[in-house]
A and B are shown apart, each in its own frame.
Chain A
């Protein structure tokens, strides 16, 4: 449990001279379920990409399982779910083909697809309930279903750590619930999860730690925000950003009474 999946110290990123991350210290231990929260443009997506080494740091350093991203070799330990499907071009690809590509870090160049690969892909498809659509082109699926394909792609790789960039953004309630169920299964089996979210929704019960980002800085790191009062009512629609704004006050505001 003491092993840390991610460890960033003084992480800085700037785009064209504009600072996006301004000195982030963040360590994620194995088995944690961390939600990176923040308003649009707060830098949370950049933080996720920097943790994976997809965006280079302009200052500070970050480690993946104790190794800098450039020297990291055990990529099979990481399952990345990007924000949306980036279907490369005009050539169709079936749901199964895309999900199977999640095995790539576990496959060696000259070895053919094994039965282990195939059964992992089948299980991943089943987990997101897309087995029936496995042979359909990804491009023909709805937005929520495409999001499920990306989740299945990460599941297929059977990683230790899942990194999800806004897995719940713009998807239907059914997919959100499906994601929550899938994630709780993963958490029970000791997997680590880092996810970016605007709204926690049905994911809220499984989050163990909330990290709030504002203007490229960590402004809160601790227990996740719990909905209170009116907002705790079932079916309450989180349109407003109080979870983010309440932090303007003292940090006790996360769980304490409203003042």
Chain B
């Protein structure tokens, strides 16, 4: 059955999209969660809706306008965050509401806009992915993975300890904007697959799942990417077998189920680990006492 499916072009496109999203979202998500900005993806997702609607209104590709508007939104969010004022919290909220309301309003007056179209961007419509969409998604995915590979070491230092990054001469402002822009690109990649309202779930849940089982940053990211792919491909398959299942929601629920499972497994892993380390600690302590 799966072999027959693989020969269908529609399914092939959807599978490629799911794979790319499953890889990119958790990779970027690891940095974002480490920086305690888990909701950044949500914020950008809200703003991106205005971008999508602008695409319909002006007759350009919605993905393109979404990229532009969500990058502007991400940069605005980063600038507010960097100012670090208490009012920044409210400013961000205002930006999010504006994004959603603006999107809905523009979509309603756009010539090709309809509630069905709006829903397909809010909640994803992986089955309607076109070859052109795939090219855009693939190009963005290459950009995102490239950024993670080239700047990963610096982004780790930045997200771990911003002051240390400054005292090491890293371009802190540039790197902060880079993370925001990368998150914006990821939101647009994931928009067609899980939808703008659930984009952030794929950036956060696989990371939360992975860290139940890991000790280090690198392994957390690697495992999160694996979980991301499993969830997105699994959700796609579920919706292919039963047409009643919406893929976006299936992907997110699958990811959540994985998290609950990892929570249980992680308890055992940690229990084993504390016993193990308390055993290895003892001889070390004695050496230090003698010295």
A residues with CB within 8 A of B? 52-54, 72-73, 75, 78, 80, 82, 85-94, 96-98, 101, 104-105, 107, 109-110, 129, 132-133, 135-137, 140, 153, 157, 163, 174
Q: Return B85 CB to nearest CB of chain A, in Å.
A: 12
| Cβ contact within 8 Å between A174 and B288 | yes
Looking across the interface, which residue of chain B has its beta carbon closest to that of A101? Answer: B157
In the complex with contacts A88-B36, A94-B216, A135-B215, A80-B153 CB distance below 8 A: no
In the complex, the answer to whether A97 meets B156 with C-beta atoms within 8 Å is yes
- Which of A96, A101, A107, A136 gathers most chain B CB within 10 Å? A101
Docked Cα-Cα span, A72 to B277, in Å, equals 43
B199 within 8 A of A: no
- Report Cα–Cα, A94/B217, bound state, in Å: 7
- Among the interface residues B164, B166, B280, which one has the most CB atoms of the partner chain A within 10 A? B164
Question: Could you tell me if B277 and A90 are in contact, using CB atoms closer than 8 angstroms?
Answer: no
CA distance A53 to B38 in the complex (A): 30
Cross-chain contact B34 with A88 (CB below 8 angstroms): yes
Interface residues of B (CB under 8 A from A): 30, 33-36, 38, 150-151, 153-154, 156-157, 159-170, 207-208, 211, 214-218, 220, 277, 280-281, 284, 288
Contact of B35 among A82, A89, A93 (CB under 8 A): A89
A107-B216 in contact given A89-B159, A90-B33 (Cβ < 8 Å): no
B30 contacts A91, CB within 8 Å?
Answer: yes
* Chain A contacts for B208, CB-based, 8 A: 90
Known pairs A73-B169, A78-B167, A85-B161; list 15 more (Cβ under 8 Å).
A86-B162, A86-B163, A87-B161, A90-B34, A90-B36, A90-B207, A91-B33, A92-B211, A93-B156, A97-B156, A101-B161, A109-B154, A132-B284, A135-B216, A137-B215
B217 touches A97 (CB 8 A): yes
Bound together, the chains give a CA A37 to CA B169 distance in angstroms of 27
**Provided the pairs A92-B216, A135-B216 are in contact, do residues A110 and B150 lie with their beta carbons within 8 angstroms?**
yes
Which residues on the A side are within 8 Å of B154 (C-beta)?
104, 109
Q: Knowing A89-B34, A90-B208 are in contact, say whether A104-B168 is a contact too (CB < 8 A).
A: yes
A-B contact pairs, 27 of them (CB 8 A): A54-B166, A54-B167, A75-B169, A80-B164, A80-B167, A80-B168, A82-B163, A82-B167, A86-B160, A86-B163, A88-B35, A88-B36, A88-B159, A88-B160, A89-B33, A89-B36, A91-B207, A94-B217, A96-B216, A98-B160, A101-B153, A101-B156, A104-B165, A105-B170, A129-B284, A129-B288, A157-B168
Q: Are B217 and A93 in contact (CB under 8 A)?
A: yes
From residue A107, how far is it (CB to closest CB) to chain B in Å? 7
State whether A109 and B150 are in contact (beta carbons under 8 Å apart), knowing that A91-B217, A92-B215 are contacts in the complex.
yes
- A122 to chain B minimum Cβ distance, whole angstroms, is 16
A91 to chain B: which residues have CB within 8 Å?
30, 33-34, 207, 211, 217, 220
State the Cβ distance, B258 to closest chain A Cβ, in Å: 17
Complex CA distance for A132 and B280, rounded to whole angstroms: 8
Q: How far is the CA of A129 from the CA of B286 in the complex (A)?
A: 13
- The interface centre, meaning the residue of B150, B156, B170, B208 with most chain A CB atoms within 10 A of its CB, is B156
**Candidates B33, B35, B160, B207; contact of A101 at CB < 8 Å:** B160
Contact A75 B163, beta carbon cutoff 8 Å? no
Query: Which residues does chain B contribute within 8 Å of A80, judged by CB atoms?
Result: 163-164, 167-168
Which B-chain residue is minimally distant from A133 (CB atoms)?
B277
What are the nearest 9 A-B pairs in CB distance? A75-B169, A94-B216, A80-B167, A91-B34, A89-B36, A105-B168, A93-B217, A89-B34, A88-B160
B288–A88 touching, CB < 8 Å: no
Residues from chain B with Cβ under 8 Å of A88 in the complex: 34-36, 159-162
Bound form: Cα–Cα A93–B155 in Å: 13
Give complex CA distance A104, B175 in Å.
Answer: 14
Query: Is A136's CB under 8 angstroms from B215's CB?
Result: yes
Chain B residues near A104 (CB-CB < 8 A): 153-154, 157, 165, 168, 170
A219–B281 alpha-carbon span in the complex (Å): 46
Give chain B residues whose Cβ lies under 8 Å from the Cβ of A97: 156, 216-218
Chain A residues within an 8 Å CB radius of B167? 52, 54, 75, 78, 80, 82, 163
CA distance A96 to B215 in the complex (A): 11
